[in-house]
Amino acid sequence: GDSVTQMEGPVTLSEEAFLTINCTYTATGYPSLFWYVQYPGEGLQLLLKATKADDKGSNKGFEATYRKETTSFHLEKGSVQVSDSAVYFCALSDSSNTGKLIFGQGTTLQVKP
Amino acid sequence: DTEVTQTPKHLVMGMTNKKSLKCEQHMGHRAMYWYKQKAKKPPELMFVYSYEKLSINESVPSRFSPECPNSSLLNLHLHALQPEDSALYLCASSQTTGYSYNSPLHFGNGTRLTVT
């Protein structure tokens, strides 16, 4: 079945450092890919999305490119802030149109001043 | 502020109690979801409603009973829960279940449930 694999955390960075969180997927068909972020005590918020190969999603300085050839959707940010500390989930929505999201295990990011 | 509102924020209940979780959205979305999230884990899908009809039940025990009274409201009725049911329960909505690329999920902030 479809699955998403994320790099294990926690990831600890200093403020203004470069961030990469790896995400790879296995899916039949043509999934859409998402990054969600969960701040402490809150629900999940959509960070960015990409719907087809070579699409680049971007929001709030974060970017991820849908790479079909490597089945990857890595999240990057050029300069992280303390306020970016959160749990990041990579997810895919398959082509069955059920609305079902398949999540990776989540990666905790801690940014220190 | 989230556009999906969940009440209550916190709930403590005994194993013999009956309680309900409520979720409301006013974005005109026609799909609504219940997810369960344990600490340090991703959300797990429980139920999906599409146009007020139950479309997915992920083999959830019958002590959890969903209800969708109208397109804006979603309830989760709880009865005879076990301590292992303690978790964060998240409600979400989307425009539809189909065309997922154009219809990402919007989550509420959840209800933190503790079963004693």
Over residues B92-104, mean pLDDT: 74
Low-confidence winner among A35-44, B42-51, B73-82, B102-111 (lowest mean pLDDT): B102-111
Q: If you count DSSP H runs as helices and E runs as strands, how many of each does chain B have, helices first?
A: 0, 11
Instruction: Work out the minimum CA distance from A70 to partner chain B, whole angstroms.
Output: 20
Chain A residue with Cα closest to B94: A99
Chain B interface test: which of A4, A35, A100, A105 (most B C-beta within 10 Å): A100
Residue B77: strand, helix, or coil: strand
Calculate Rg over the CA atoms of chain A: 14
Calculate Rg over the CA atoms of chain B: 13
Instruction: Give tens-digit pLDDT for A25-60.
Output: 999 878 889 999 999 989 999 999 998 899 999 999
Q: What is the pLDDT of residue A92?
A: 92
Distance, in Å, from the CA atom of B115 to the CA atom of A92, rounded to the nearest integer, reads 32
Percent of chain A past pLDDT 90, that is, above it, reads 80
Length of chain A: 113
Split at pLDDT 50, 70, 90, the class of B102 is: low
Instruction: Give tens-digit pLDDT for B12-66.
Output: 999 999 999 999 999 999 999 999 999 989 999 999 999 999 999 999 999 999 9
Distance, in Å, from the CA atom of A113 to the CA atom of B89, rounded to the nearest integer, reads 32
Instruction: Work out the minimum CA distance from B103 to partner chain A, whole angstroms.
Output: 9
Chain B residue with Cα closest to A6: B42
Instruction: Work out the minimum CA distance from A108 to partner chain B, whole angstroms.
Output: 9
Q: What is the 3-state secondary structure (H, E, C) of chain A?
A: CCEEEECCCCEEEECCCCEEECEEEECCCCCEEEEEEECCCCCEEEEEEECCCCCEEEECCEEEECECCCCECCEEECCCCHHHCEEEEEEEECCCCCCCEEECCCEEEEEEC
Chain A residue with Cα closest to B58: A100
Cis? peptide before B42, omega within 30° of 0: no
